[in-house]
Amino acid sequence: MIKTTVAISIMTKLCVVTLIISILAPQLVNATEDDYQLKSAQHKSLLVAVGCFWCGEQAFEQYAPGVVEAVSGYAGTDGIENPTYRNHPGHFEVVLVEYDPTKTSYQVLIDYAWKNSDPFNGNGQFCDYGPSYKPAIFYDNDEEREIAERYVQETVLPNYPTWKEKDLQIPLLPRPTFWTAETYHQNYYIKNPGDYGYYKNACGRPQRLKDVWGKDVYDCYHNLESSCFENVTNASGDVVEAELNTKGAEEPEAALLPRKYWITIGAIGTALVVIMVSFLVVKKRGEDNKSKQSMELKQLN
């Protein structure tokens, strides 16, 4: 009798545990830990792939409300561990967006992800092609997945009625582990504004986004002086004042050419000057020798 009672007790506990796991499992999409630690336990994070992570980092960090930090990195369900820029098979170039849910929401930031992507190019983004540059939006639980799905149905398609859902090529994927990219990639738009601006324009990113979403929409999402988003709805559903550009960075201005090109031009210019000077020196010596020989002949005669 006692053994039967114990067995029933154990079975009951197992059933309860199984029930709890079945309830929580859909919420635990990403069982592994990112190698980036949020600045506060009250903060949340969003993972997106919008092409080159330099551009994604600037777009969210400067223009998206409530963003605390945007970090360049790598992520992919089939990716290798400890990826690097030179070796990251199976990974997207991604941006981890740390945000304050009292100042913004997952839905607001999903909107920014779409507005910074070309939804019709599933093989890359803008001038960058290949698996690393494919677009994607990642969800961490069922709630985020449902928000992202509703966004397409309730915001994207109604506002662009000529678009067909089958033509949209931004997949919604379970969130994989995030690996932080090398230090020199972080805050690239701040540390190298001229080079960054040149690349961004040369890659055709601003123009393509204007072509896809419209110039007015582009200006709303990429201008610190824009009045389009003075207020936003946070994760609790409260309307709050939009806070942008958390690092107070100036909007980068494109250089005429990247620094590496100027270095090359300088090296070529220096080499040409050396060659020219060497030529003139040799020529002068030759003329001096001829003049000396001519004088010696006159003296002999």
Cβ neighbours for 234, distance < 8 A, ≥ 6 positions apart = 66, 101, 102, 103, 104, 105, 240
Residue 167, number of CB atoms within 10 A of its CB: 9
User: β-strand 44-49 against 92-99: which pairing, if any?
Assistant: antiparallel
Q: Which structure tokens are listed for 97? A: 């967006």
Which residues does the annotation mark as catalytic? 52
Q: Kindly tell me the burial class for residue 64, based on how many C-beta atoms sit within 10 Å of its own C-beta (0-12, 13-18, 19 or more).
A: buried
CA pair distance 228, 161, nearest whole angstrom: 22
The vertex-79 CA angle with 76 and 80, nearest 5°, equals: 145
Distances (CA, A) of 15 to 6, 18, 22, 191: 14, 5, 10, 56
Distance spanning both ends of the chain, measured CA to CA: 141
